[in-house]
Structure formats: structure tokens, C-alpha cells
Structure 1
């Protein structure tokens, strides 16, 4: 059993595991049972049942995730959007107002604008890099703050320390999507955030074979979210729990390689005459670079960029690369390229994308664990063609 003083590599392997191995099995078995014998559980939420998200496969993940993020509690969900939507619906009531970063994952933004608001909730966008502008957006009914550690797809890092302090000073629940950074590179609770969210489909699982989400944070808030999740039915299947559990054990190895490889590729792209702009928090001179260095232990495996030839050049590049797969999603062992305007942010209108700085020609790159030299050579031949 791991403890809080051990490194994250050790906690990934041992945190949350049964103290006595089940029948001696080194790997936790899949408990593919919807129903468990009644054992005097004190309340409805404690009944053992897959929808209650409390089978042995769930509980090991909950303990492991809490240990990784240094939070009081954690839970897994059926998808990243299940984690996000359930959290917002559990913690806020119609009439409440939240502050939202002005460039989010398209699914999150679409949920807030298209689903959250019609239910009676309110929001205002804020510039996470401009602390002087936040107070003007406060209202008497403001209850929460929602941001991303590294934004999707422009890879901006807001003033995360100041955001958490602002939320605390104004009695707001501070929520942050930590998918792009992972707990290897950033642990929001250590900076004052109340709730940390993940699409486990991405880096935490890392193998492009499940859809899952997670919420970690303060215990009293997690109780509310867990209860709402039971009613909404967004529980994770035990076999998906097993795959996520297995994938997480290599998280630190994968992410550290992806950190190094993405930085090298971003440098290659930035030096190429065909490239107009590269978005990567680890590039010196980029807006927010000093802040990213202070906050992050690694800059992540995501890069986005634009070519001087616009949309035609972007499509030609994606046709010419040989190693990456042209596909949505991210965070797996294989390198993926996509245009966010057609995938992750397709749910936003063209006007909304333009306002957020997401052009039709923007290319988003999820760096895998292939040989960095091979990827750089492949990108160079695609750009030179």
C-alpha cells in the first residue's frame, strides 16, 4: 500500500490497491457483477450495485485517483462529459451564476451554453490570464469558477494560482479540468482548487480503448456529485474500470516521454518556414511561458499550430504525414492529428470558434510515445512537400 510521502510513480502502482490481494491475484480481477449481497448497508447510496459506482473495481480507482491528485475523495464516471455535467448539476442550482474560462473544450462549452443555461443557470466568460478583469464579472449569485489547466486546443495556461485565490476570497467553488496536464504535471488541489476533473479516455487510460471520466476533490462536494451521478446513471462499467486501472499504472512513464517529445516537436515546428504559429506552453517567449514554468512540472503532450498556407496547407499536411493517425481524441500511445473545427469544437458555431481564436486551419497534435526523431522527420517531410 502506497502512502502520501511516496512518489507518484509508486502511488500509480500501489495506491488504493486491496491490502490483502484478492485470492493472491497481483492484478485486480474484474468484478463483472451488477448485484452484490446485502450486508446491512446503512443507506441507499451505500448499496453495492454497478449504478452506485461502488463495486470493488470502482473503489480501487477512487482511492488511487484521490491519492494521485492529493484530494480527500474521487470517483469515476462513464465519460469525461459525464464527470463535467454531473459536477455542474450537482453543485449548482437554477439561478446560480458561474465564471467560465473563455476558451474551453467544445463539448464543455456547448453543454454550458446549450444545456446548462436553459435549465436556469447563468454564466459569464472570463479571461483566465487577466486577473484585473475578474471582479467586474462577479454577481451576488456567483457561486463557482470553471477553468482548464491547459486549454483545448490553444494550449493556454491561465493564472491558475490567482484564479484559485480569487475563488477562495469570493466564496466560489473552484473547478478545473486537468485532462491535458494530468496529475504528473499538475495537481490542482495543491494550489487551492476544490474540484479537479478528467476525461480518463485520454491520458489516464492512455490506450484509446475506453471512454471514462473522473472527479476528485473535497469530500463533502464529492458526496453531492456521487449522489447526483447515481440518479443520472453515468457509472463506469467494471470492465472499463479494469482497463483504466491497468492503463493508469504507466501514466508517469508515458506522460514524461510525451512531455519531452512534444517540446522537441514544437521546437521543430516553430523553426520551420512553412509554420505561421505554434501553440505550446513550453516554448520560451510564448505568452504565459513564465507562468507555465512556475505552475507545471511538465508542459504536456499536446501541440497546436497553423501553417502559412491556411486551410489548404493544413489539409495537405494531414494527408502527407505517415506516422500520425488522422483522428479525434488525444492522450493515447499513438500520435494523432486533427482539425478541432471539424472534431473537438465542431459543436460550436463558426462565430463562437472565431471568437475563441480557433480557425478552420488550426491543427491539433496529440504526441504519442513513438520515437521522437521519427516523428520530427515525418513532420519535416510533410511540411517540405
Structure 2
């Protein structure tokens, strides 16, 4: 069969049953039967393949993982109930007290809370490195450093990390590299090409793409996934068969959707770049983007997120949001519907003001998840709302 991503996202399917169904059915079962006592023993002993319990594995989940592993060029994977469960497990399963994590400063708010308030209780420390100062990263690596954790592009500031540079650090210091690839998706970049060990996704976002279900996925090196699988089987954050079925079906259109998200986002960014109500517009494939050359080097397109800062701070940003007529006001992203979020007061509100400033989350910053509506309608709604600020 073809090794094309678009084709395999559609054609990779769980084995058909005796009913010869074209679309894979839902396997809504908590457990699975054995023919006899000996088969039960053999499956539990890993001497024979077979499903045991849907917290461990399920045909719908297995199909989804096979697709994502193919798309990300990964050896193995595990699916979770949410993106943050995937982020948590990718660290908790592999780190122990005394270990140190080198993290990009620009990470999602809940990832920041894990590093500062959860893992710190277990004696796991971290240091933050700035994407704008790659020359400082190596000096932050300690003898006890075990992992590098990054998002690229970051949420919400769209900071990029040079994946080739991170791969070199990993090889030099024998570290585990974990990359949150949610914003780019495997359609736009595959971090494993650069030596990344684990790739994390909030499948809630672009993989589902329609704001319906929650899910998280970690894929990567087989030996590391085995540790994550053991941890997750016994702590229970598994994805439900129904959510896996929904997301697996959604992957069939991922390439088409991402292409349109990127096309609409670039047109929006280009239109807004000279809007007098804005301090700046950020989009990786705008020539004015500070890391434009890096974006062109490691991404096939700029993604579906545009950020900009409204002049006048929070009050002006609030007026802009309240004047929107079509775009949704919610904290999700990657949806067919365009979404506006004010990170400082919502997704990153639990950070201190100093922490927000350090990652470029100013009071006037707006994140737009550009949807699949007619781009003229998206532009019209945003520009009319800005005109009233």
C-alpha cells in the first residue's frame, strides 16, 4: 500500500469482522472474552496477542494509534483521555525524584502548572530556556537533566524551537526529547525526523477538528512507550473507544483541513498586518515573523493559529471580543469554526503577571484559531470588531 500520509490516514483500519463492514464499528465493551482458561493465561502472559480490557487496549484505540504512528513516523504509542493526560504521563512514567527537566519557557499553562506545582512535590526540578536565546540552552543542562520538553509552535505566542538544534543537544547529552506537536500536526512537521524521542498531541484539537471529543496521544520510541504503557495501564488515563473512533475517522480529513486552516490563517495574517488597531501580528509564514526562516525550514506551512496584540491592553481586547458577531469565544482551538481566545484572562490566567510577560502574553494579546469558514467572512468579522475598539 502507498506510504502517502493522506492515503494511509484513510485506509489504515482495524481488521474487519465477519460482517464485512466498510466503516470500522464501535467496540463499546469494557472487556474481551477468551476461548478457554489457557488462552486467558497466554494473553495475560503476553505469549499471545489479544485484547483484555479497554483500559489496556481496544480495537478502536489500536486503529487510531496505528494511524498516528504512521503519520509521525513513530514505533509505538498510547492514547489518553486528554492532551494533558498525555503530557503528564510522558513525564511521570519516565522521571524520578532527583531528575531535572529542561523546558522551553513558552509552554501551555497546564504544562507550566505540572512543572511548578505537581512534579516539584516529587523532587523533580526544571529550568526554563528561552527560544530567543538558543545559545543559553546548553548551560542550563545539569548532570541530573534527563529530559527536554518543548512546544513548537508554542501556545499562544507561536515561538518556534529549532528541532535540529534540539536533536544535537539530545545526542550530545543523552537526553529524552519530548515535543508537543499539537499546533503543527504531523501534516506540517514530523519532529522524529530530527531525533525527537516522543511526540505528544492534544487530539482534542486538530486531530478531532470539530470540537466534539477529548483525547491525547503520545507516540515515539518503542522502549519509552513501553514504560508509558505500563504506567498508564495501572493509573488509568486511557482514551475511550468512542473518542478513539471519532478521532480516527477525523484523521481521514486531517490533511485537507490543515491545508485550508493554513490558507485561511495566512490570508487573515496578511490582511491584519497593517491594521492600525494592532501593535503586531504574528504568524510563522509571514516574512515579518521573527523566526520566519526557521518556520520555512521545518514546517510545510504556517499552521492555523494567528496571534495579535490589540492596542490599549485588556480593556481594548475585551471590547474587540465583545464586538465579534461570528467567531466563537472559547478556549479550544483547531476547530472547523474560528475561535478567539484572550490567553491572559483564560488559558494562561493562573500564571503570574511576570510569568506571562516572560512568554510574551501581554494584556492585549489575542489568539485566533482560524477555522474553515469562507476567509472573507472571518476577515470581515475581525476587522469590524477591531474598528469598534
> Is residue 230 of structure 2 the alignment partner of residue 233 of structure 1?
no
User: Equivalent of 2:27, from 18, 25, 31?
Assistant: 31
Per-residue CA distance 1:177-209 (angstroms, 9 max, x = gap): 000000010111111100000000000010101
Paired residues in the alignment total 380
State the match for 1:277 in structure 2. Answer: 280
Distance 1:20 1:33, change over 3 A: closer
> Is residue 262 of structure 2 the alignment partner of residue 259 of structure 1?
yes
**SS of residue in 1 equivalent to 2:19:** helix
What is the distance in 1 between the residues matched to 2:248 and 2:117?
33
Q: Is the 8 A contact 1:22 1:28 kept in 2?
A: no
What is the distance in 1 between the residues matched to 2:367 and 2:76?
33
In the TM superposition, what are the counterparts of 1:371-382 in structure 2 within 5 Å? 371-382=374-385
**SS of residue in 1 equivalent to 2:273:** helix
Q: Is the 8 A contact 1:78 1:212 kept in 2?
A: yes
What is the distance in 1 between the residues matched to 2:133 and 2:45?
46
Q: Is the 8 A contact 1:130 1:159 kept in 2?
A: no
- Tell me the TM-score normalized by structure 2: 0.94
Aligned-residue offset at 1:277: 1.1
State the match for 1:63 in structure 2. Answer: 66
What is the distance in 1 between the residues matched to 2:147 and 2:121?
18
State the match for 1:289 in structure 2. Answer: 292
**SS of residue in 1 equivalent to 2:43:** coil
What is the distance in 2 between the residues matched to 1:22 and 1:333?
36
Distance 1:21 1:35, change over 3 A: closer
What is the distance in 2 between the residues matched to 1:26 and 1:355?
51
Which range is displaced more, 40-49 or 292-301?
A: 40-49
What is the distance in 1 between the residues matched to 2:50 and 2:153?
36
State the match for 2:45 in structure 1. Answer: 43
Q: CA RMSD in A?
A: 1.5
Q: Is the 8 A contact 2:14 2:62 kept in 1?
A: no
What is the distance in 1 between the residues matched to 2:279 and 2:209?
30
In the TM superposition, what are the counterparts of 1:99-138 in structure 2 within 5 Å? 99-138=102-141
Aligned-residue offset at 1:22: 5.6
What is the distance in 2 between the residues matched to 1:22 and 1:163?
48
Q: Is the 8 A contact 1:61 1:75 kept in 2?
A: no
User: Equivalent of 1:161, from 164, 172, 175?
Assistant: 164
> Is residue 99 of structure 2 the alignment partner of residue 96 of structure 1?
yes
Q: Is the 8 A contact 2:311 2:364 kept in 1?
A: no
Q: Is the 8 A contact 2:51 2:58 kept in 1?
A: no
> Is residue 216 of structure 2 the alignment partner of residue 213 of structure 1?
yes
Q: Is the 8 A contact 2:82 2:203 kept in 1?
A: yes
State the match for 2:332 in structure 1. Answer: 329
Distance 1:343 1:22, change over 3 A: farther
Q: Is the 8 A contact 1:336 1:365 kept in 2?
A: yes
Aligned-residue offset at 1:265: 0.6
User: Equivalent of 2:373, from 353, 370, 373?
Assistant: 370
State the match for 2:199 in structure 1. Answer: 196
State the match for 1:268 in structure 2. Answer: 271
**SS of residue in 2 equivalent to 1:24:** coil
User: Equivalent of 2:5, from 4, 8, 19?
Assistant: 8
